[in-house]
């Protein structure tokens, strides 16, 4: 009966963790849509500004367009090199004493979490692994798992 209670508890924890992760996923979708809409509006404004500058003074317009052509790829490269996912940006960040590794600065590098989404993914993987271990032990008839 101890194994059955543990299995039920793990299933409840998995349901809660999956719902939390789905919530972070929905927030990430909203954030991505907002960012795309904002970039479209900024692009339209930059195009209107370039057209207005071309009508006012061609040299200013060439300088403005050149600055945009240098600035936009550098920002795109910077964002791409950060290796962040939208779900990491949308979920709260683990900082200070809330970080899982705050009291253990020499913790394993692969265990570092940058957001609650990362931590939730790891917790889901741990619970699913334990649940499969309990299921395999039940299939083998082992009562010691």
Q: For 11-25, what is each residue's pLDDT tens digit? A: 999 999 999 999 999
**Cα separation of 90 and 106, whole Å?**
27
Q: Dihedral through CA 61, CA 63, CA 64, CA 69, nearest 10?
A: 120
Q: What is the mean pLDDT of the chain?
A: 82
Structural element, H or E, at residue 67: helix 58-81
* Nearest one of 114, 60, 53 to 82, comparing CA atoms: 114
The answer, as to whether pTM is greater than 0.75, is no
pLDDT of residue 143: 57
Picking from 35-44, 48-57, 131-140, which range would have the lowest pLDDT averaged per residue? 131-140
* Nearest one of 127, 131, 86, 94 to 112, comparing CA atoms: 94
96 pLDDT exceeds 80? no
Phi, psi of 115 (to 5 degrees): -155, 170
């Amino acid at each position: 009966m101890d194994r059955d209670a543990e299995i039920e508890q793990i299933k409840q924890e998995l349901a809660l963790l999956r719902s939390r992760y789905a919530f972070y996923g929905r927030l990430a979708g909203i954030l991505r849509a907002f960012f795309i809409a904002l970039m479209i509006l900024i692009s339209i404004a930059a195009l209107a500004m370039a057209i207005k500058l071309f009508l006012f003074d061609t040299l200013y317009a060439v300088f403005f367009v050149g600055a945009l052509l240098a600035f936009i790829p550098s920002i795109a490269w910077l964002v791409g090199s950060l290796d962040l996912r939208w779900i990491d940006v949308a979920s709260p960040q683990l900082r200070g004493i809330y970080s899982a590794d705050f009291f253990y600065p020499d913790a394993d590098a692969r265990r570092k979490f940058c957001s609650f989404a990362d931590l939730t993914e790891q917790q889901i993987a741990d619970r699913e692994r334990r649940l499969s271990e309990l299921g395999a032990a039940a299939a083998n008839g082992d009562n010691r798992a």
